[in-house]
Amino acid sequence: MGAGFSALFISQEGLSSVSSSSPSLGDLPESCVASIIGYLDPPEICKVAKLNRAFRGASWADFVWESKLPPNYQILVDKILGVVPENLGKRDIYARLCGVNTLDGGAKKVWLDKSTGGVCMSISSKGLQITGIDDRRYWNHIPTLESRFCSIAYLQQIWWFEVEGEVEFPFPAGSYSVFFRLQLGRASKRFGRRICNSEHVHGWDIKPVRFQLWTSDGQYATSQCTLSDPGEWFHYHVGDFNVENSNSSTKIKLSMTQIDCTHTKGGLCLDSVVIYPSKFRERLKHEGFLKC
- pTM assigned to the model: 0.85
What residue ranges do the domains of the chain occupy?
2-66, 102-291
CA–CA distance, 94 with 279 (Å, rounded to integer): 21
Enumerate the β-bridge partners of residue 284: none
Q: What is the mean pLDDT of each run of 10 residues along the chain (292 residues)?
A: 36 40 56 70 82 77 87 93 85 93 95 94 97 95 95 96 97 96 92 87 95 96 95 96 93 96 95 96 88 84
**What is the structure's pLDDT at 23?**
55
Sign of CA dihedral 85, 244, 62, 99: positive
**What is the structure's pLDDT at 15?**
36
Enumerate the β-bridge partners of residue 209: 225
**What is the structure's pLDDT at 98?**
95
What single letter denotes the amino acid at residue 116?
Answer: T
Contact 156, 253 (CB under 8 A): no
Class of domain 102-291: mainly beta
Contact 235, 291 (CB under 8 A): yes
**What is the structure's pLDDT at 6?**
36
Enumerate the β-bridge partners of residue 61: none
